[in-house]
Structure formats: C-alpha cells, structure tokens
C-alpha cells in the first residue's frame, strides 16, 4: 500500500513548488534568496501535509483524512507565514497573507491537476 508513497510525495512536492513559485513571482517576488526561501519552506512543510493525511486515511478512513488536510493546511499557512516573516526581504504583503495566498492557489490548482493525473 505504501509502494507509491515516494512517487506521490515527489509529485506533490514538485507541483507545489512550481505552482507556488509561479504565484510568488506573480505577486512580486524577485529576490533570489526569497525565491530559494519559498522553495525551502515547501521542502519543510509539504511532505508532512501530504504524508500525514495519507496515513490517517489508511488507518481511520475518509472523514478523519479530510479533517487532517484542513488542520495541516492551516498549520502550514501559519508555519510558512512565520518563516516568511523571518526570512523574506519581500514586504509588499503581510507574510501570513502571502503564505495563505500561495497555499490557497497551490491547493486549489492541485485539486484540479490531481483530477487529471
């Protein structure tokens, strides 16, 4: 059952990085260190947000799985916002709002993309 987990994690991480980088650039990120920070934050949070709900689904079923996604997404926004507040030179948008927008965009687009994969 866990045979596909590395592939799922890699696909989700790559898609999230690409989607959030594109949206970060649209929002005005230009500094190379800021771009690197957006990537590194995803490497930190995305594997947890992908793996934990998957494991919860296997063990407990659909409803706890859905709840865990929402809880982990909120935690990811907060953690990423905190990291952005400490690391980004970009100050046009509040770092927590920036994190929320990136996550909203990547989560929404990810739902659409996953319908076709």
- Taking only the tens place, the pLDDT of each residue in 92-104 is 999 999 999 999 9
Q: How many domains does the chain have?
A: 1
Long-range contacts formed by 75-84: CB under 8 A, 24+ apart: 76/45, 76/46, 76/48, 76/49, 76/103, 77/103, 79/44, 79/45, 80/41, 80/45, 83/37, 83/41, 83/44, 84/37, 84/41
- Taking only the tens place, the pLDDT of each residue in 30-54 is 999 999 999 999 999 999 999 999 9
Instruction: Give me the phi and psi of 30, to 5 degrees please.
Output: -130, -30
- Domain, as residue range, for 92: 5-116
């Amino acid at each position: 059952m866990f045979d596909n987990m590395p592939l799922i994690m890699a696909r989700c991480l790559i898609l999230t990085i690409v989607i959030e980088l594109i949206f970060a650039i649209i929002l005005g990120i230009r500094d190379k260190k800021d771009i690197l920070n957006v990537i590194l934050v995803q490497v930190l949070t995305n594997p947890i947000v992908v793996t934990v709900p998957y494991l919860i689904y296997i063990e407990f079923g659909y409803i706890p799985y859905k709840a865990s996604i929402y809880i982990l997404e909120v935690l990811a926004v907060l953690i990423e916002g905190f990291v952005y507040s400490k690391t980004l030179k970009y100050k046009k948008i509040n770092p927590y709002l920036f994190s929320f927008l990136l996550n909203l965009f990547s989560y929404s687009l990810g739902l659409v993309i996953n319908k076709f994969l």
